[in-house]
Amino acid sequence: MTIHWSLAYGEYQLPFMGAANRVLNGESRLCPKCNGELRAYFHVFQSDTGKGTLWVWCGGCGMHTTLPRVSPPLQFPDPFAGVPRGQFSALETSAEERLLDRLERLWSEGALRRADAPRPER
């Protein structure tokens, strides 16, 4: 299934950012636009500080956003943790499989889910 990705915009921008911030803190949230389950992926860019970027996307409507330079209070599974920075940048821009398509696939396979993740709630 192909999802049409769209960066959180307009009236959804702030609610979506708010939901993303809660996901960062380990809460499970539903999409402010379509009520779909929000998914998340965190990748560390500064190993000394543990700071990185959190991608949050909706598997329903494809709305997404990123939270850069954040450090979540909990662990997110990262299949790309050992990938060198340059290679990760290549992943981000790969035309073969766009990063969000790849993350959505990994999510479907269960590779990104936290074992202790609670059920979504509004």
Q: What single-letter amino acid sits at 115? A: A
**Strands 51-58 and 38-46, bridge-based pairing:** antiparallel
61: contact with Zn ion by CB under 5 A:
yes
Query: In the complex with Zn ion, which residue's Cβ is closer, 85 or 122?
Result: 122
Q: In this structure, what token pair is assigned to residue 55?
A: 């991608």
Instruction: Answer yes or no whether residue 17 interacts with Zn ion by CB under 5 A.
Output: no
**26 contributes a contact to Zn ion by CB under 5 A:** no
Among 15, 26, 60, 120, binds Zn ion (CB under 5 A): 60
Is residue 58 a contact point for Zn ion (CB under 5 A)?
yes
Stretch in the footprint of Zn ion (CB under 5 A) among 20-28, 32-40, 78-86, 110-118: 32-40
3-state SS class at 41: strand
Per-residue tokens: 83:
């990938």
Find, among 10, 2, 36, the residue nearest to 120 by Cα: 36
Q: Which residues bind Zn ion (CB under 5 A)?
A: 31, 33-34, 36, 58, 60-61
